[in-house]
Chains A and B, each alone.
Chain A
Amino acid sequence: MSKLRAIILAGGEGLRIGQYKPLVTFLGKPLIFWVYSTLRKLFPVVYLSFKTEVQKKSLEKLLKFYKVNSKSIEFIPDIRPELRGPISGILSAMHFFPSEDSLLVLAVDQPLIQTDLLLFLQEISFYYPKCILVCQKEEHIEPFPGIYPCSLKKYLEEFIKVSEKKSLYRMFQFFLQKKSLLFLKDWNKVDLNGKSFININTLEQLKELEKKCFGLE
C-alpha cells in the first residue's frame, strides 16, 4: 500500500543568504523549524534530505537543542551530491522509498507553508498516484510544496542523463512531455494569498517578511 512521505530539502548551500539555510533564524526560530512543525501536524515522521555530513551534524544538533523526538525525524543522504540544486535531493528520496510511495517535497525556506495546501496536494495525489503535482501561479511554476511519485524515479534518472541543464524548469518540461505532470491552478482555493509559496533567498527578504509578519500580529 502506497504512502505519502513528507520530505524537507535541507541540502542547499545557502549561497545567497550566506549560511546553511535551515539554520537561518526567522522570527526567533530556525527556518527548518517552521516547516518541520507544520509537517508534524500531519505526518508522524518527517524526512530531511541533506547533502553533506556537516549538514547532517548541524541538523542533529539543532533537533537536539529543540528536544525534537528523534523518532519523528529521519535523514535521507544524497546519492548524487555532485548535482547542484534540489533535483538530487528528490532523486535520493525516490530511491529511499518503495516505488509505490509518493513524496511531498517541501523547501526549507518557505516558513509560511499552510497545512491546508498540503492536504489539498495529498487529496489530488490520491487521484494521480503516478503524476508530479505542482502549483502554478500565473506563468510561474511553484516546485514546492509538490508531490513527486517515486515511480517516476526512472524518468528522473533519464532526465539527469540526457539533459545538459539540470534545472527544475527543464525537469518540468521533461515530465510534461512524459505526460506525468499536472499543474494545479486552484491553489488559491486553499491558500488565498499564496503565503505558502513565499520563500526566503536573501537576508533582505527575510527581514522584509519578518516585518510583514509582525505587522500582521
Chain B
Amino acid sequence: MFWLGIEQSENIKVLVVEDDDEVRTAMVDFLIKEGYEVYSAKNGIEGFRKVLEVEPDVVLIDYLMPGMDGISLCKAIKNNSETVDIGVILITGVDDLEIRINGLEAGADDFLSKPFLIPELKARIRSLSKIKKYRDFLKSYQETLESEVERKTSDLLKAHLELKKAYEEIKELSLEIIYRLAKAAEYKDEYTGFHIQRISAYCVKMAESLGLNKEQIDLLKYGSPLHDIGKLGIPEKILIKPGILDEFEREIIKKHTLIGFKILEGSKIKYLQVAEKIALFHHERWDGTGYPYGLRGKKIPLFARITAIADVFDALTTDRPYRRALSISQALEIIKHSSGTHFDPELVNIFFKIKDQIIEIRNFFKDEDPKSDRLFLKFFL
C-alpha cells in the first residue's frame, strides 16, 4: 500500500541534459507523453543549476557535451549530499567501455547507448526513480524517527528529573525523620546537645578512612544516630539516675540494645536495617565481654564496632552531671588503652590516624552552640 504512489510516472521528475536540440526535444516530448514531469537543460552548467532547482528523481545526461561534459556533471551531482540520491543515467556512444568505466567512477547509476530503444529508456527511468523514491522515503522516515526519539527522550528526561526530585524529597524526608527519631531517644537520656550528630560524623570519618564506598558510608551515616533508640523503652528514673546503678538497674539499661533492635527490626529501608544491627551490637566488646550476646572480634558487625568507638569517645568528651568533659588527650588515652579489649584494634588505629579530623568535629558541634543543630541537618541531609 505504502509504495503505490511511486509506481506512477506523474510523480516522477525527470531532467534531460542534452546539447543536441533535436534529440532533447524528442526525448522531452516522449517523456511528457509518458506522464513524467519533465525538465531540460542544454549543457552541463545549466543542467546542474536545474538539478539544484527542481530536485529531479532521475537525470538523463548526454556524455558528449561542450563545456561541462556528462562525466563532470555526474560527478557534481554525486559529490553533493543534497543531490547524491538522484538517479543518473549516462547516455554514451555504442559500447564505449572506457567512458562507461569513467562514468561508474563518477557515480553514474546506469547507462544508455545511443541509439536506444524507448522501452529500454522507460525501464531505466522506472527502476532508478523507484530507488530514488525509496531513498527519499527512508530519509524522511529516519528524520521522523529521529525527531520522535528526540521528543520521547526529552519526555523521559523530564519524567526522570521529576522522579529524581521526588526521590530526593522522600529521601530527605525519611532521613530527617530518622534524625528526629534519634533526637527523641536522646531527650530521655542525660545527654544533651549534639551527641548523635557527632557520632554520625565520627563514624563517617572512620568509614572514609577505612575506604568504604559511598553507599556504605551513607548507611553508617544515617544508621549510627539511632544506636540508642532503645532508650525510649528504659524508665527515665534509671536512665538519669545520678548515683551508681545497682545490678538490677544495670540489667535494665542493657536492654536498650534489644529494645532498639525490636523498634527497628524487619524494615525494608536499608538505613534502618543497618541501624537495627548497630542498635543491637554497639555495646558488644572485641574481647567478648560486652552485651547483649558477648560476641567476640569480627563476629560483631563492622558498623557496630565503628559506632562503639565513636560512642565512647563522645561520652568521654561530653559533660556529665558529675563531671565536665574530659580532655581529648585523656579520652584518646582511654580509647587507646581499650584497644584489643573493648575495641577493634584496627579501628582504634584508624581513629588515631584521623585524630585531627575527629577533634575538628568535636569543636564543630559544640553543645553550647545553638547553631549546631542547623549545621548538622545541613551535613546530614
Stretch in A89-97, A121-129, A142-150, A199-207 with 4+ CB within 8 Å of B: A121-129
Residues from chain B with a CB closer than 8 A to the CB of A129 are: 289
Give Cα A200 to B303, complex, Å. Answer: 50
Q: Does A15 contact B (CB under 8 A)?
A: no
B330 touches A185 (CB 8 A): yes
A116 touches B289 (CB 8 A): no
Contacts of B246 in A (CB 8 A): 44
B52 interfacial contact with A, CB 8 Å = no
Kindly identify which residue among A3, A4, A127 contacts B312, using a CB–CB cutoff of 8 Å: A127
Stretch at the interface among B5-13, B180-188, B232-240, B319-327: B319-327
- Do A42 and B243 have beta carbons less than 8 Å apart? yes
Cα separation A124 to B341 with both chains bound (whole Å):
14
The answer to whether A127 touches B338, judged by C-beta atoms less than 8 angstroms apart, is yes
- A4, A42, A43, A127, most chain B CB atoms within 10 A: A127
Contact of A80 with B by CB under 8 A: no
Tell me, in angstroms, the Cα distance from A186 to B320 when the chains sit together. Answer: 13
What's the minimum C-beta distance from B337 to chain A, rounded to whole angstroms?
5
Complex interface residues of chain A between 139 and 192 (CB less than 8 A to chain B): 182, 184-186, 189-190
Asked whether, in the complex, the Cβ of B250 is within 8 Å of the Cβ of A1, the reply is yes
Q: Is B337 within 8 A of A190, CB to CB?
A: no
Interface residues of B in 330-360 (CB under 8 A from A): 330, 333-334, 337-338, 341-342
Closest beta carbon of chain B to A16's beta carbon, Å: 33
Q: In the complex the two chains form, what is the Cα distance from A122 to B246 in whole Å?
A: 12
Instruction: Mark out the residues of chain B between 242 and 264 whose CB falls within 8 Å of any chain A CB in the assembled complex.
Output: 243-244, 246-247, 250-251
Query: CB within 8 A of B338: which of A128, A184, A185?
Result: A128
Contact of A189 (CB < 8 Å), options: B243, B324, B329, B333: B324
Structural contact, B330 and A1, CB atoms closer than 8 A = no
User: Which of A1, A119, A182, A189 is close to B337, meaning CB atoms less than 8 Å apart?
Assistant: A182
Which positions 70-97 of chain B face chain A at CB distance < 8 Å?
Answer: none
Q: How far is the CA of A54 from the CA of B224 in the complex (A)?
A: 58
Asked if A41 CB lies within 8 Å of chain B CBs, one says yes
CB pair A189 B247 closer than 8 Å: no
- The interface residues of chain A lying within 8 Å CB-to-CB of B325 are 189
Contact A128/B320 with A43-B244, A122-B244, A185-B330 known, Cβ cut-off 8 Å: no
Complex contacts, A119 vs chain B, CB 8 Å = 243-244, 320, 322-323
Across the two chains, which residue of chain B brings its CB closest to A129? B289
* Given A1-B251, A120-B322, A189-B325, CB of A127 within 8 Å of CB of B334: yes
- A130 vs B337: C-alpha distance in the bound complex, in angstroms? 11
**Chain A CB within 10 Å, residue with most, of B244, B324, B330:** B244
Which of B251, B312, B322, B341 has the most C-beta atoms of chain A within 10 angstroms of its own C-beta?
Answer: B322
Of all chain A residues, the one with the shortest Cβ separation from B326 is: A186
Q: Contact between A190 and B334 (Cβ–Cβ < 8 Å)?
A: no
CB of A108 within 8 Å of the partner chain: no
The reply to whether B244 and A42 form a contact with Cβ atoms under 8 Å apart is yes
Q: Are B322 and A184 neighbours in the complex by a CB distance under 8 Å?
A: no
Q: Is the CB of B327 within 8 A of A190?
A: no
**Least Cβ distance of B72 to chain A in Å?**
96
With a cutoff of 8 Å between Cβ atoms, the chain A residues found around residue B323 in the complex are: 116, 119-120, 189-190
Interface centre among A118, A124, A182, A186 (most CB of B within 10 A): A186
A3 and B322 within 8 A (CB): no
> From residue B240, how far is it (CB to closest CB) to chain A in Å?
13
Name A69-116 residues within 8 Å CB distance of B: 115-116
Q: How far is the CB of A132 from chain B (nearest CB, A)?
A: 12
Question: With an 8 A cutoff between CB atoms, is A131 at the interface?
Answer: yes
- On whether the beta carbons of A184 and B243 are closer than 8 Å, the reply is no
Q: In the bound complex, do residue A4 and residue B322 qualify as a contact, i.e. CB atoms below 8 Å apart? A: no
Shortest C-beta distance, A86 to chain B (Å), equals: 23
**A42–B244 alpha-carbon span in the complex (Å):** 6
B330 engages A184 (CB within 8 Å): yes
- What is the CA–CA distance of A205 and B341 in the complex, to the nearest angstrom? 43
| Bound-state Cα–Cα, A118 to B327, Å | 18
Count chain B CB atoms within 10 A of each CB in A4, A41, A42, A189 and give the residue with the most.
Answer: A189
Tell me, in angstroms, the Cα distance from A130 to B312 when the chains sit together: 17
Nearest A residue to B320 via CB reads A123
Q: How far is the CA of A3 from the CA of B244 in the complex (A)?
A: 11
Q: Which residues of B contact A128 (CB under 8 A)?
A: 334, 337-338, 341-342
Tell which of A4, A115, A123 has the most Cβ of chain B within 10 Å: A123
Interchain CB contact under 8 A, B243 and A116: no
Given contacts A1-B251, A128-B338, A129-B289, contact A186 B243 (CB under 8 A): no
- How long is the Cα–Cα vector from A123 to B323 in the complex, in angstroms? 11
- Tell me the minimal C-beta distance from B107 to chain A in angstroms: 89
Q: Inside 8 A of B333's CB, which chain A residues have their CB?
A: 182, 185
Q: Considering the complex, which residues of chain A in the window 27-76 have a beta carbon less than 8 Å from any beta carbon of chain B?
A: 41-44
Interface set of B (CB-CB < 8 Å, partner A):
243-244, 246-247, 250-251, 289, 312, 320, 322-327, 329-330, 333-334, 337-338, 341-342
What are some 22 contacts across the A-B interface (CB < 8 A)? A3-B247, A4-B244, A42-B243, A115-B322, A116-B322, A118-B244, A119-B322, A120-B320, A120-B322, A123-B320, A128-B338, A128-B342, A130-B341, A131-B337, A185-B327, A185-B330, A186-B327, A189-B323, A189-B324, A189-B325, A189-B326, A189-B327
Apart from A131-B337, A189-B325, A190-B324, what 19 extra A-B contacts exist at CB < 8 Å? Answer: A4-B244, A41-B243, A119-B244, A119-B322, A123-B320, A124-B334, A127-B334, A127-B338, A128-B337, A128-B342, A129-B289, A182-B333, A182-B337, A185-B327, A185-B329, A185-B330, A186-B327, A189-B327, A190-B322
